[in-house]
Structure formats: C-alpha cells, structure tokens
Copies of this chain bind each other. A is one copy, B any other.
C-alpha cells in the first residue's frame, strides 16, 4: 500500500514550526509495518492545497493529511477536500452537538466560528477526536482514501493511533501480525549499539525481524519489528531475539516498551515502600519534574530542592555551614544527600551537583557531575565528566542522576562507564 503524508499550514511551510508531526506520523506508521513513500508540505492556500490533494490522489492508495481543521479562516482542509472529492460540504449535526458539549463542560460559550469545524465533505466518515473540537474524517479522492487529522500534536497522536492506523492496516490487504519491541537504554551510543546488535536480525527466520535505532539523547531506543502470519508466530519469532538484545544491552536497559526510566524508578520505590527527596543545581528542577507529577508519586516523592549555588543548596537542606567545604565532590554530594534524607524524613535522597566550565557556551563546553544516593545503608556516589554544551550536560546530568538511582534500586553497579562520558 502506497501511503503519502500531506502536512498543511503556513507555520510548517515557512519553517516557523519544526515539523515534528511529520516525523511522528511516519515513525508510527513504520512501527506498525506501514511505509510512507512521499511527503508534501503546503501552506494555507487554496490553490496549492488542491494541487497537493489531486497529485496524491493519483499516486497513493492512502493519504494522511495533517492540519487545517481548526475554526479559523486559514483552516481550509474540509473545504478543499470537498472540492477535490467533487462533493459539497454538509453540516454534521452530531459533531456540532459534541462541540457544544465540549465548550459547555468548560463553562464556555462556543464562538460562532467553530460551526465551521462541523462542516464535512458529503459522504465522508467522521473520525472521532475525543480531546478536541477538530473532527477528523476520511473520504475518497480519486483512487486514494484520505484521512484528515488535526494539527494539534496530542489530538493527532491519539487519532492516529486509535483511529487511523487500524483503518490503514485493515485496508492494507496484507494479512499478518506484527509486534514492535522496544528497549530504552542510557549510556550506549547508536554506533556502538549498531555494532553490538548487527547480527541479531538473522536469529529470526525469513528476514521477519527488522532491527532499528532511534537516538534521542540522552536515551537510545532499540527497536525490533517482527512480522508473521499471526500473533503466535510473531511471539515465537520475537522471543529469542528479544532475549538476546536484553542480554547484550544488559545493565544499560532502563525501561522497555511504553515504560520510562522515571516510571521504573517510581514502581521500584512503591514496591519497596521507599520515599524520595531530591537535591539539584543546574538541572534546575528537571529531576523533580520527571518524577513528582507521575500518578502515584505523591506516595514516594516527598521533597525537591533546587539551588544554583552550593551555599544556597546547603542552606536549603538545612546543613550547617561548617560541616563541610562546599564543592562539587562525591563527598559533599553525599553529605547533601544524607542531610536532605534526614530533614525530609525519607528512605532515599538523591543529590546531583554540577560544576560547569567557565566561558561561553560551545560544543566543547564541559561540566563535572557528582551524584550521591543516601539510604539507610549509607551513601553511594558517582562522578562523571561530560562535554557537549550547557544543554547537553544538563540533559545528561538529569539522566545520569535518575539512572544511578535505578541501578541502586535494582542492585546493579552504579559505576559503569557510559559513552557520553569523557574519562
């Protein structure tokens, strides 16, 4: 099945917005075993939109259009879809009621301009958007089935996963089942992972397993896409490959599939009846922000303190000024963690201290990171030096701090060299 993707909107065409919707949709289709063969980007302009729809309708079997379903005058997708399909726009009473409810629940009056969102091409299939007022729809244009999705990322993502991909899989004719198995690791670069795992594809018969990577610093995602006649066959094919990848990536695997590092930590702490306090500097609240808002975190996350100077951090955890020299060292990080654990009355405390190099931000800009974890048994510390600019170091330090906590909770060595580290 030939699938095309049309992204609409002046903001993506002019480059004001980086087109992350395109990459999300294309990846999600790829993960489902479907393939995008052509991408088009056009602005909020009747003539080019029509031309884009017509061209795709001749080349493709299925087309996903993203954007242009909003209530404003520059949202033109329904109008041009109707024109390209050679049908009228008709008022969808059901969707209009849904929108009225949506506004009512928020104690707002629906502006008259929103009526436009309930006008759909005659004969089109309404595609539900449970979290917004933009109604998705599917309609035939030429030989292709067009799926119209909203530009708001969270609405698009949900509609794509729950509504569009199942319809595409059904239409694809190609029978079969597939699983996408994902490993999230921290500390192994893409090139090294590629070298470590290059031969695992061959473990599954008939080229039915495809290995892929997605590097999104500081984590690396390793993906196994396995296809087969049915789910039994797929699971049978996946099992040995999955086990081998898990073994080779070893301690560096922080989570699998939809799980995340912070969720793995939270689950381990909930299971152990633990509680947590966190002290941070240049990471500026980012460590706390990964854990504190999670459902269930109110039982675990007790306190976070952030300060930009070592002296303020010492004051914030109520440590006496003459107890230790304030410096970015494993020893001082350990004392911060120990004091914080006592004052917040938690079972665990994590401290992540950073000393940045002097001078302007640049690609060789570096920083020294000291991590300490205090629990009833004492303190565990880790020191690392990283290069790559301020933001690179900040992101790396957040991940290193969380990963040290994961390793400590899982009984794994906290000291294990990572690829981002400069020895």
Contact = CB atoms under 8 A, between A and B. Distances in A.
Interface stretch (A106-114, A163-171, A230-238, A371-379): A106-114
A140 to B, nearest CB: 23
A212 B11 contact: yes
Nearest to A423: B107
B13 A111 contact: no
Contacts of A318: 318
Interface string A18-62: 111011111110100001111111111100100010010000000
A316 interface: yes
A15 interface: yes
Interface residues of A, number: 107
Contacts of A363: 130-131
A192 B108 CA distance: 11
A145 B13 CA distance: 20
A304 interface: yes
A374 B214 CA distance: 45
Interface stretch (A71-79, A81-89, A119-127, A246-254): A71-79
A194 interface: yes
A284 B288 contact: yes
A204 interface: no
Interface string A91-123: 000000000000001111001011000000000
A152 interface: yes
B306 A285 contact: yes
A190 B306 CA distance: 35
Interface in A146-199: 152, 180, 190-192, 194-195, 198
Interface string A204-219: 0000001011110100
A295 interface: yes
A152 B215 contact: yes
A225 B191 CA distance: 42
- Chain A residues touching B, majority SS: mixed
27 contacts: A7-B39, A11-B214, A11-B223, A13-B36, A15-B27, A16-B23, A16-B180, A19-B19, A37-B43, A37-B45, A38-B40, A38-B41, A38-B42, A38-B48, A38-B52, A70-B215, A107-B422, A113-B191, A282-B292, A289-B289, A292-B306, A292-B308, A301-B306, A302-B308, A303-B312, A305-B305, A312-B344
Given A15-B24, A15-B30, A295-B390, 17 more contacts: A7-B39, A10-B210, A14-B36, A15-B36, A16-B212, A38-B40, A72-B190, A74-B213, A106-B388, A111-B195, A282-B292, A285-B285, A285-B289, A292-B306, A303-B316, A304-B304, A306-B306
Interface of A: 7, 10-20, 22-28, 30, 35-45, 48, 52, 55, 70-74, 105-108, 111, 113-114, 130-131, 152, 180, 190-192, 194-195, 198, 210, 212-215, 217, 221, 223, 225, 278, 282-289, 291-293, 295, 297-298, 301-309, 312, 315-316, 318, 343-344, 361, 363-364, 387-391, 394, 419, 422-423
